[in-house]
Chain A
Amino acid sequence: MAQPLRTRRDLLRLLILISPSLLWLVIFFLLPLLLVFAISFGQRGTYGGVQWTPTLANYARLLDPLYLRIFLRTLFIAGTATVLCALIGYPMAFFIATRPARWRNAFLLLLVIPFWTNFLVRMYAWLFLLRDNGPINVLWTEGIHAAVAWLAAAIPAPFWEPLLQATSTPLRLFGTDGAVIVGLVYAWLPDMVLPCYAAVERLDPRLVEAAQDLYATRVRAFLRVVLPLTRSGLITGSVLVFVPCVGAYVTPDLLGGARTVMIGNVIYSQFMMARDYPFGSALSFVLMALMLVATVAYFRLGGEGGRGRG
């Protein structure tokens, strides 16, 4: 297969063989991309639509601090969600990988079962949980409030008063960055767990024993052997989580309320509400370029120490 292409016939045969996938990519990926790229240099028509007079104004508009802030906030939310996914997903992968073989598949199944439900439904479920009169706040304003009141009556102390006051009003959960992060972590956690699990499962437990045999404590064995050998899973998982989080639109729309806006929401509103296709395209393009650069840089970073895996 890896022979050099010697004749025109070889080249022709290769072209014929890859033409279906090539065609698919050109029609459904490359052409729309070029279209978006082209539109991003156009101007919004008076009644929507695109006027094809080339301009860089759309890109210049991106330098507006308003959009810079939204970009930064998007990166912050997506980054936090990714870190949380790693903090939860990596230990989870260890937990599953160290169960007896017959339990492992059951745990993996449990992990993905929630995802048989429609994404929107799951986000609405979080909305229901987090809103002011949702179950969490009912527990807070009734259950915990009553408990604090009871304790205050039993043991008089000065610190009950602020607690009583705090529990008398619902917590502000819905409509915050926190709610969006919770929704994103929930939505993308399996994308972190699965690659981590694959990496952990490949890890030979005897390497940990070898490290301990060579005077490494558990912590040092983890840092010197386990972490470097499972880093590829963490890196793949992080990219798989970070990329969709940066582009998230439904989750911030539903859980972020009117206040929290991520770049996905801006793009949506440019296309669907403001009908400013050129500016929306410019936003999309910059976002894509940013993610591409970030992903490549990240894989490079992981590639260094990750090389030499047996």
Chain B
Amino acid sequence: MAEYAVELRNVSKFFGSVAAVRNVTLGIREGEFFSLLGPSGCGKTTTLRLIAGFELPTAGEVYIGGELQGDTPPYRRPVNTVFQNYALFPHMTVYENVAFGLRMRRLPENEIRRQVHEALEMVRLSGLERRRPRELSGGQQQRVALARALVNRPRVLLLDEPLGALDQKLRRAMQLELKNLQQQVGITFIYVTHDQEEAMTMSDRIAVMDQGAILQVGTPAEIYECPASRFVADFIGETNLLEGKVVEVWDHHALVLVDGARMVCGAVPEGVRVGQRVTVAIRPERISLHAQPPGPLAIPGIVRDVVYTGADIRYMVRMADRVTVLVRSPNTGNGSTPHFLRNETVYLSWRPESARLLVA
């Protein structure tokens, strides 16, 4: 068995002078739920289309199951796609839509019937065989698209923002369902989304893309805990990004001067020098607030705003003249985290490892 279900080696795609995908190298493992995450226009769809064979790379190679694809047409690649707006055939019934791929492969009709019913059962659409796509709700259409692709038992399933057209509640439900389905069938999923929460919820690994390039690949925890760049830190979840200058470096730690406040950072990459301009990234839930300074490194601040969101309380704390940070404090209700009011003076502290120093 090949090491990777899908592998891209130095793949670039230009549309005229526009680089939609730049020098992407990526290995997606067998049976993995892999997400391509990035803002709209960053090249996710193009990457997917390069794998499906709808676009050919300007440079680089695409391998599926260890085989170089070259200019293999889409109908000869062992992948199937769930399209962005489903692209169901409007002139065919649900049954005919799902049977399409099997018919093209000329399976015997009784075998087709068996597999179509099995696939429809899997996505819980049994009984709707004779409906037309336009007689179905958005969620049902989505399931038909899924069944139409999965019935072919592809080596890899490509999904392009499959939940994008659904409302929030249905989306949440479908996320879990999709994830379960993937584990059940054991097919490699490559999932495109611009919704970081969705990618975090469902994926085994995520590739964060921006402007055609892949910035970081990792598990949701790795991406969240150890963002490699400012863009990734900002794009994934909420984060405070503070500009400062390094004043001291020791043993993977650094002291950074942020507008007069001295912050200790515990996750410092190699090669950071004193005097360098850097960004400190710190998640709002990793900062704790205290009424009295808990230690010599705590930074004083003034609460400028308090927002009660239910599960937690969000404070905007002015730390120095021009620097305001967001702090998220869990609403435990047992007094383990004190509550503060507007204009109260507080002291901020964090574990040094929670403050990440970013140079990019």
A77, CB-defined interface residue at 8 Å: no
Q: Which residues 278-308 of A have a CB within 8 angstroms of B?
A: 305-308
A225, CB-defined interface residue at 8 Å: yes
Q: Which of B74, B88, B92, B152 gathers the greatest number of chain A CB atoms within 10 Å?
A: B74
Chain A interface: which size bin?
Answer: 20 to 34
Candidates A204, A213, A214, A308; contact of B132 at CB < 8 Å: A308
Whether the pair A308, B90 counts as a contact (CB closer than 8 A) is yes
Q: Which residues 296-314 of B have a CB within 8 angstroms of A?
A: none
The number of residue pairs between A and B whose CB atoms lie closer than 8 Å in the complex comes to 71
The CA of A207 and the CA of B87, in the complex, are separated in Å by 5
Whether the pair A209, B80 counts as a contact (CB closer than 8 A) is no
Whether the pair A215, B75 counts as a contact (CB closer than 8 A) is yes
Given contacts A209-B54, A308-B90, are A214 and B148 in contact (CB under 8 A)?
Answer: yes
Whether the pair B100, A214 counts as a contact (CB closer than 8 A) is yes
Contacts of A206 in B (CB 8 A): 83-85, 87
B349, CB-defined interface residue at 8 Å: no
Residue of A nearest to B154 (CB): A213
Whether the pair B52, A213 counts as a contact (CB closer than 8 A) is yes
Q: Which residues 261-300 of B have a CB within 8 angstroms of A?
A: none
Contacts of A217 in B (CB 8 A): 73, 75
Residue of B nearest to A214 (CB): B101
Whether the pair A308, B152 counts as a contact (CB closer than 8 A) is no
Min distance, Cβ A295 to any Cβ of chain B, angstroms: 23
Whether the pair B133, A215 counts as a contact (CB closer than 8 A) is no
B89, CB-defined interface residue at 8 Å: yes
Given contacts A209-B74, A310-B133, are A214 and B91 in contact (CB under 8 A)?
Answer: no
B351, CB-defined interface residue at 8 Å: no
Candidates B74, B85, B92; contact of A213 at CB < 8 Å: B74
Whether the pair A310, B80 counts as a contact (CB closer than 8 A) is no
B173, CB-defined interface residue at 8 Å: no
Whether the pair B90, A214 counts as a contact (CB closer than 8 A) is no
Given contacts A215-B75, A216-B104, A310-B133, are A209 and B89 in contact (CB under 8 A)?
Answer: no
B105, CB-defined interface residue at 8 Å: yes
Whether the pair B101, A215 counts as a contact (CB closer than 8 A) is yes
Contacts of A224 in B (CB 8 A): 100
A164, CB-defined interface residue at 8 Å: no
| Interface membership of chain A positions 217-242, coded 1 if the CB is closer than 8 angstroms to chain B and 0 otherwise | 10010001100110000000000000
The CA of A215 and the CA of B81, in the complex, are separated in Å by 11
The CA of A214 and the CA of B119, in the complex, are separated in Å by 15
Given contacts A215-B75, A216-B75, are A228 and B100 in contact (CB under 8 A)?
Answer: no
| Interface membership of chain B positions 69-107, coded 1 if the CB is closer than 8 angstroms to chain A and 0 otherwise | 000011110011101110111111000000011001100
Min distance, Cβ B279 to any Cβ of chain A, angstroms: 41
Contacts of A211 in B (CB 8 A): 89, 100, 104
Whether the pair B91, A229 counts as a contact (CB closer than 8 A) is yes
A102, CB-defined interface residue at 8 Å: no
Contacts of B74 in A (CB 8 A): 209, 212-213
A309, CB-defined interface residue at 8 Å: yes
Contacts of A306 in B (CB 8 A): 91
The CA of A310 and the CA of B75, in the complex, are separated in Å by 25
Contacts of A229 in B (CB 8 A): 90-91
Contacts of B342 in A (CB 8 A): none
Contacts of B89 in A (CB 8 A): 207, 210-211, 225
Min distance, Cβ A206 to any Cβ of chain B, angstroms: 4
Candidates B54, B90, B148; contact of A310 at CB < 8 Å: B90
Contacts of A225 in B (CB 8 A): 89
Contacts of A216 in B (CB 8 A): 75, 100, 104
Min distance, Cβ A133 to any Cβ of chain B, angstroms: 53
Given contacts A215-B104, A215-B105, A217-B75, are A210 and B81 in contact (CB under 8 A)?
Answer: yes
Min distance, Cβ B268 to any Cβ of chain A, angstroms: 47
Whether the pair B73, A210 counts as a contact (CB closer than 8 A) is no
> Which 3 A-B residue pairings sit nearest by Cβ, starting from the closest?
A310-B90, A214-B101, A215-B104
Which residues does A use to contact B, with CB under 8 Å? 204, 206-207, 209-217, 220, 224-225, 228-229, 305-310
Which residues does B use to contact A, with CB under 8 Å? 52, 54, 73-76, 79-81, 83-85, 87-92, 100-101, 104-105, 132-134, 148-149, 152
